[in-house]
Amino acid sequence: MTETYQDLELQLLLEAVKTRYGYEFTHYARASMMRRIRKHMRAAKTDRISDLIPLFIHDETAFAHFVKDMSVTVTEMFRDPDFFQALRKNIIPLLKTFPFIKIWHAGCATGQEAYSMAILLDEENLLDRCQIYATDFNENSLKIARSGIYPDSELSLYEGNYSKSGGYSSLEKYCSRGYDSIKFNGRLLEHITFANHNLVSDGVFGEMNLVLCRNVLIYFNSELQDRVLKLLIDSLRSRGILCLGRRENIQFSQSSEQLETIDRHQRIFRKKV
């Protein structure tokens, strides 16, 4: 009984949000979304999901917090070093055969992985031939990403990841330090375009050689996963490379037949001709 009402309340809340602000969360995966909604219920000291409807409709700041919470900002430099190592070893040689390389990093959050990619490309003497498009729907995250400034306290974690990923020297070569922060060199940023893009409502990015979308699809339900996976594949040129998160699946998706597996463990795929 209560469960039925909960579904109804959730549906009404998401419809209200869509109508009022244009944000479409209807096809987000339920469990993660419920965690976020509960967090907002605790903050607003409300017992019911539907109590959030007037709050979000009338209080733009409260809703902005919700949007911020709905976008996952957990990321780090060279996250999953094994993945970056596989990229360096097996994918970079493929990319080297192209005169110009376009890379789309979908769901880049605060940008650390886009800088990681730029560093990797620089070490492989490819950066000057590359353009990285790093996108997210969270403007707040993009602001941090564009600044290239991160807390100094993260540097040892980042250095560890970088070294495990097969990095050639030291991250410090690519950043300056001060005010308890690190700031990545502007030279890296010259090859990165940070832009707002919502995978749920926005369109295809054209003719990419490489698309990274790691641990984003897990926040969508199966229907939306299918739709976004198709968008990612449509954004690739023929034989372009798609990288997903370590425990993500394409086996349940209709688009999976358009891809062949290059590295099963690291979830690296190639678009078929």
Q: Furthest-apart CA pair in the chain: how many Å?
A: 62
| Contact track, other proteins, 196-215, x by CB under 8 A | -------------------x
Least distance (Å) between residue 65 CB and other proteins:
15
CB 191 within 8 A of CB 131: yes
Are the C-beta atoms of 205 and 107 separated by less than 8 Å? no
Residues 128-167 close enough to bind other proteins by CB under 8 A: none
Of the two residues 209 and 225, which places its CB atom closer to other proteins in the complex? 225
Q: Which of 118, 119, 217, 243 binds other proteins (CB under 8 A)?
A: 217
Among 16, 43, 55, 72, binds other proteins (CB under 8 A): 72
Strands 192-196 and 130-136, by their bridges, are parallel
Q: How far is the CB of 74 from other proteins (least distance, A)?
A: 5
Tell whether residue 74 is a contact of other proteins (CB under 8 A).
yes
The answer to whether 30 contacts other proteins (rule: CB under 8 A) is yes
CA distance 44 to 69: 14
Q: Is 266 in the site for other proteins (CB under 8 A)?
A: no
Eight-class DSSP state of 108: -
- Other CB atoms within 10 A of residue 112 CB: 22
Lookup result for tokens 């979304």: 33
The amino acid present at 206, given as its one-letter code, is G
Does the protein bind other proteins through residue 257 (CB under 8 A)? no
Other CB atoms within 10 Å distance of the CB of residue 245: 18
Cβ closest to other proteins, residue 197 vs residue 214: 214
Closest residue by Cα to residue 56 from 12, 92, 114, 93: 12
Closest to 157 in 3D by CA, of 81, 106, 239: 81
Using the rule CB under 8 A, which residue among 12, 16, 29, 149 binds other proteins?
29
Interaction of residue 249 with other proteins, rule CB under 8 A: yes
Q: Is 245 in the site for other proteins (CB under 8 A)?
A: yes
Question: 219 to 238, contacts with other proteins by CB under 8 A?
Answer: 219, 222, 225
Residue closer to other proteins (CB basis): 4 or 97? 4
Tokens standing for residue 27: 């096809």
Residue 247 engages other proteins in binding (rule: CB under 8 A): yes
For residue 50, how many C-alpha atoms fall within 13 Å in the half-sphere facing its CB? 9
The answer to whether residue 248 forms part of the interface with other proteins (CB under 8 A) is yes
- Does 3 participate in binding other proteins (rule CB under 8 A)? yes
Residue 66 tokens read as 């919700």
Q: How far is the CB of 180 from other proteins (least distance, A)?
A: 21
Q: Least Å distance between CB 30 and other proteins?
A: 6
Give the containing element (helix H, strand E) for 20. Answer: helix 2-21
State how far the alpha carbon of 9 is from the alpha carbons of 12, 56, 57, in Å.
5, 14, 15
Q: How many residues bind other proteins (CB under 8 A)?
A: 23
Interface residues with other proteins (CB under 8 A) are 3, 29-32, 34-35, 38, 72, 74, 80, 215, 217-219, 222, 225, 245-249, 252
